[in-house]
Structure 1
Amino acid sequence: MTGPAGGALRWVERRAARVVGSRGLREGGSPWLLDLDGRPPAVLRTGRHDPDVRARFVTEVAALRLAERHALPTPRVLAADVDGAEAGSPALLTTALPGRSAMPPDPPASRLRALGAAAAALHEVVVDPRPGLPVRRWPMDGPGGGFVRVRDAVGSAPVAEAVARVDRLPAPVGPTVLVHADLWLGNVLWVGDEVSGVVDWECAGVGAPGVDLGNLRCDAAMLLGGDAPDLVLDGWCAAAGGPARDVARWDVVAALSGPADVAAWLPAIHDQGRTDLTADVLARRRDAFLRAALDRWAG
């Protein structure tokens, strides 16, 4: 990757300041960390002309503006061109948050509890569906995401059993809250052992807290193993001031919301510094997490 397209850079310079440097933040590409002349760094996200891409940009703008009103630790929108009329393609410019998303393979328990607490803070925002923030039924809910990929592929026996059970579930009841809907370790920034921000809101919407909590727990199981998922749950419950509902159900939903072949996630996971993880390890951990959730659910 060489950097953002010229049209996007000219748009940034009209809206903010001259760009004097850039660095790709995800596998060498968008979003881009921009060095601006005389101003703090900013982050530029760009995308191709496509209705689904435009919808994700609309969602990210709506989510970040709602988060700002509730003083959540998220980037602030500096400028948005969701149609690409000025930038040449959909573009979003936001503030840059301090910290890094990489997490060591053996983080302290306090850091995992902080991860759960960060999710609980999002879920304090009770909100109805609105333009840009539709109901999210599972992580990465939307065109081509979540369950669609699992159901269209041949997965393991636990996956097949889980899909059949979830198909029979009624919709969850209760008020809807702000959900990130792609809340994994790579989308949380840290300064030391403190959460400094939550980024990448293009899948956001409203839904049950379990959409995020289950995803965080499944991700912790796959990337960290051991008691990491339970420490995340401990942090969420402590911050929320009470127990989480339907944990087993949402663990199952989360385990179904990624690709049947988890090798598709390896580039993003390796980009976080976890080059020690293989597709085989991730698949075995995912299936063990799913099997345990199914057993608890049956009980």
Structure 2
Amino acid sequence: MSDLTESIKVWVLEYFPKGSFITNINCLKGSTTSTLVGITIEHPDKTESQVVLKQYNKPEAVGKSEAITSVENEANSLIVANSLRGNSPKLIGTDKYGDISEYPLLLMSKLPGAVDLHPDSISTWIEKLAITLVEIHQNDIKDFSSKHFRYQQSDDLNIPVWSQYPEVWKALIEIAKQPEPMYDPIFIHRDFHPVNVLWQDGEVAGVVDWTNGCIGHAGIDLGHCRWNLAMIFGVEEADIFLQYYIKQAGNRFKYDMYWDNVSLMDVLMDHPSVYPGWAAFGRREITKEIIMDRMDRYAISLFNKVY
């Protein structure tokens, strides 16, 4: 159990009955901005608790001031998420300012299940993924500290030099520069994609990583997940997800390509990179060349929805 300092272990145990002790510590894969540690705690009555400790100890990915903000936002998001349909981790405690260790900490319950990027039935898997997102969006929450903002501003966007279809990207960038459509905001996950969804026995067991929870348009979650599906599998799978979402959401949702486009612009880079989470969960075949090709194909599919 040398992965955690004694001060962190003592802090974790303070949230549990006196006499509890840690029996196992293991590093969890998939996170790019923090270290996730799974901890098993045995109690005096011989019962166990499974928890996850999130350590913002990757300064190259996120600075300390941003980490403090992220811990605070995730803590607030988890409280809201627990009021929604579906499973999400329960907040146990935080050390926002790094008083216990050098870095901010967040302690939460551990959900059952695992990430699954190799489903037996892709159609069924996508349908359940869409249903899960619709359930998250079935809320009327408008009072939350964080509001949606773009990761990349329109004026900073450039036609990617690697693209085989610069005219398509030029048109999409022009759409991104248009004012946001009026919409009825709700609470959204903001980083909903397959690596943040856990599965057990073919069913969704829960949704994790609520760091970016905020008030915004449902299409932001939809668009971000669609981009991920397009990169992992292809445009067809992204479109199937859209169809299932629209069918399940009913009158609560009206599709607008604008939000898909904004989500695409959020991940537009001069030099595309492969999200490490895909390889961590078995999709090691995805290369930068594949990403560039699929980015072009996805951009064309959005272009065709308008022109």
Structure 2 residue ranges without an equivalent (≥5):
58-62
Instruction: Tell me the amino acid that sits aligned with residue 41 of structure 2.
Output: L
After superposition, give the CA deviation of every residue in 1:21-78 in whole Å (9 maximum; x if it has no partner).
2222235871111121232211110114711111111111111101112343110011
- 1:135 is aligned to 147
**1:227: Cα distance to partner?**
2.3
- 1:104 is aligned to 118
Question: Which residue, out of 166, 174, 177, partners 1:164?
Answer: 174
What pairs with 1:1-299 in structure 2 (closer than 5 Å)? 3-16=3-16, 17-27=20-30, 30-38=35-43, 39-48=48-57, 50-104=64-118, 107-131=121-145, 134-137=146-149, 141=150, 145-147=151-153, 151=157, 154-155=160-161, 156=163, 157=166, 158-167=168-177, 169-225=178-234, 227-242=236-251, 244-260=253-269, 263-298=272-307
Instruction: Tell me the amino acid that sits aligned with residue 19 of structure 1.
Output: I
Following TM superposition, the consecutive aligned residue runs of length 4 or more in structure 1 with deviations greater than 6 angstroms are: none
**1:19: Cα distance to partner?**
2.4
Partners of 2:235 and 2:301 within 8 A in 1? no
Partners of 1:22 and 1:34 within 8 A in 2? yes
Partners of 1:180 and 1:201 within 8 A in 2? yes
Partners of 1:188 and 1:195 within 8 A in 2? yes
From the CA coordinates, give the structure whose radius of gyration is larger.
Answer: 2
CA distance in 1, matches of 2:7, 2:137: 37
Partners of 1:135 and 1:207 within 8 A in 2? yes
CA distance in 2, matches of 1:15, 1:159: 51
Residues paired across the two proteins, number: 288
CA distance in 2, matches of 1:259, 1:45: 28
Change (3 A) 1:188 1:262: farther
**1:4: Cα distance to partner?**
3.7
TM-score of the aligned structures, taking structure 1 as reference length: 0.86
Partners of 1:60 and 1:204 within 8 A in 2? yes
Structure 1 residue ranges without an equivalent (≥5):
none
Indicate the SS of the match to 1:283: helix
After superposition, give the CA deviation of every residue in 1:3-32 in whole Å (9 maximum; x if it has no partner).
344433331122234322222223587111
Instruction: Tell me the amino acid that sits aligned with residue 24 of structure 1.
Output: C
Instruction: Tell me the amino acid that sits aligned with residue 166 of structure 1.
Output: A
CA distance in 2, matches of 1:259, 1:32: 31
CA distance in 2, matches of 1:254, 1:166: 10
Partners of 1:118 and 1:236 within 8 A in 2? no
Identity %: 21
**1:106: Cα distance to partner?**
6.5
**1:203: Cα distance to partner?**
1.2
TM-score of the aligned structures, taking structure 2 as reference length: 0.84
Partners of 1:12 and 1:18 within 8 A in 2? no
Instruction: Tell me the amino acid that sits aligned with residue 305 of structure 2.
Output: R
CA distance in 1, matches of 2:255, 2:173: 17
**1:248: Cα distance to partner?**
1.9
Instruction: Tell me the amino acid that sits aligned with residue 27 of structure 2.
Output: G
Indicate the SS of the match to 2:108: strand
CA distance in 2, matches of 1:170, 1:150: 16
After superposition, give the CA deviation of every residue in 1:181-218 in whole Å (9 maximum; x if it has no partner).
11111001111321111101111101010000111111
